[in-house]
Amino acid sequence: MENGKALQEALIAYSQDIGVDAIGFCTAAPFFEIEDCLYHREAQGYMCDLESKDYKRKIYPQQTMKNAKSFLVILEAYDVHNKNHDHEDDKLRGHISMTAVSKDYHNILMEKLEKLAVFLKSKVPCETMAFVDISPFSDRAIACRAGLGFIGKNAMLIHKSYGSKVFIGYVLTDYALCKEDCKGTIDCGTCHKCVEACPTQAIVGDKNVNCNKCLSYLTQHKGHIAAEVKNKMGKQIYGCDVCQIVCPYNKVRNKVLEPIITPYPEHESLLSISNKVFKDTYGKTASGWRGKKILQRNSIIALGNSSNKEALHILEKIMDDPRADIRKEIIDAIWRLGFSDGISLLNKMKTCEKDITLLKDMEKAIAGLQEKHRFMEG
């Protein structure tokens, strides 16, 4: 059996060979340090439906692996091309978060974690389980314990060299890779930039984010999106980078991950994309997991925010979409755009609409636009 220190060193050297940006180790002792925060988040209504409320599994790794002793944690740092900003001001294009335009990070990290698990097993007999994002645990708490950074006010892990532009993955094992955990000493200090910049005031300021206000979550959310939030979504089709862009720890340039899709897709293309092309492009990135419809819904919301008359022509091309919830978003976008030409477009939509609820929505939108333009003309 390998001595602990020598085994850590061998794992560190191997991780560098396979292109891991940072590696750390921590114990699988109960995560009591996050317990109060979990209950606080629930009491304040900050949790969303993508988060597990199985706190016992979050706190006790042994509920997932009976004899769990430690975690091996890795980070993959990322950045985007400067040239990606070329279309930033084009109102007929949306925006996809920098985390979701390259090869799906789940696959990048999982490939490396599986190699590290095989390497570990070649040195010591042990059980291993690898996780990226989808896990019963708190990724950021594990990474903190492993000395890979601290939790910022935006609730993200911040690494001293890579900032928050990092993806986290880890292997849980029944082998004790270390005896002690790291205790962080740095934090955000007096900085409040992300709290001030967040478009929906989702960042509370005490290292908590109200996920039900966070655009990153809402662009993945399947249910209803409130009118006041739609306005704040701007051109976002998937995710939101605002709190990362303003963070002073992110001034560094990390390695650039080659994009598979553009971060600024044309709404017109996205709204007419076939299932096959979507699967072959978006499906290879982290933005594809919720499927085409959610991204198209967000694209229509972004067109409704665009204040650009051309948006009406794009919406006209898809006005007979077979999906009623998509037609509902089209009606809403035409109404929010507010142009008088929207009245004739809605009247045209009415002639082929059979859904009673949508017909009522159209009549309401037509009446609203007529009143608005009568008022403006009068």
Q: Should residue 150 be labelled a site residue for ligand SF4 when binding is judged by CB under 6 A?
A: no
| CA dist., res. 295 & res. 287, Å (int) | 8
Least spacing, CB of residue 35 vs ligand SF4, in Å: 23
The tally of CA atoms less than 13 A away on the side-chain side of residue 143 is: 28
Query: Measured at the alpha carbon of residue 73, what is the angle toward residues 67 and 77, in degrees to the nearest 5?
Result: 160
| Contact by Cβ (8 Å): 259, 99 | no
CB of 159: closest distance to ligand SF4 in angstroms? 12
Number of C-alpha atoms within 13 angstroms, CB side, residue 72?
Answer: 33
Find the catalytic residue in 90, 133, 139, 341.
133
Which region among 9-17, 102-110, 152-160, 350-358 touches ligand SF4 (by CB under 6 A)? 152-160
The interaxial angle of helices 324-337 and 341-351, nearest 10 deg, is 160
For ligand SF4, the closer of residues 205 and 291 by Cβ is: 205
CB of 33 to ligand SF4, least distance (A): 19
**Would you tell me the crossing angle of helices 356-377 and 324-337 to the nearest 10 degrees?**
10
Interacting span for ligand SF4 (CB under 6 A) from 80-88, 147-155, 292-300, 351-359? 147-155
Note whether 198 and 211 are within 8 A (CB). Answer: no
Nearer to ligand SF4, 144 or 365 (CB): 144
With contacts defined by CB under 6 A, how many residues of the chain interact with ligand SF4? 12
Find out whether 284 and 104 touch, Cβ atoms under 8 Å: yes
* Closest CB 298 distance from ligand SF4, rounded Å: 25
**192 binds ligand SF4 per the rule CB under 6 A:** yes
Is 332 a residue of the active site? no
What's the closest the beta carbon of residue 156 comes to ligand SF4, in angstroms? 6
User: Could you tell me which residues are beta bridge partners of residue 130?
Assistant: 171
Q: Which is nearer to ligand SF4, 198 or 237 (CB)?
A: 198
The least CB distance from residue 369 to ligand SF4, in Å, is 41
Stretch 96-135: interaction string toward ligand SF4, x if CB under 6 A: ----------------------------------------
Query: Binding to ligand SF4 by residue 201, rule CB under 6 A?
Result: no
Binding window for ligand SF4 (CB under 6 A); candidates: 124-132, 191-199, 282-290, 333-341: 191-199
The distance of closest approach from Cβ of residue 42 to ligand SF4 in the complex, given in angstroms and rounded to an integer, is 23
Closest to ligand SF4 by CB, 112 vs 153, is: 153
Q: Choose between 50 and 245: whose C-beta lies nearer to ligand SF4.
A: 245
Q: Quick one: which segment of 79-87, 192-200, 273-281, 359-367 binds ligand SF4 (CB under 6 A)?
A: 192-200
State which of positions 207-266 bind ligand SF4 (CB under 6 A): 246-249
Are the C-beta atoms of 96 and 36 separated by less than 8 Å? no
Of 57, 193, 284, 372, which one interacts with ligand SF4 (CB under 6 A)? 193
Q: Which of 28, 146, 194, 233 binds ligand SF4 (CB under 6 A)?
A: 194
Catalytically active residues are 133
Binding region for ligand SF4 (CB under 6 A): 152-154, 188, 191-194, 246-249
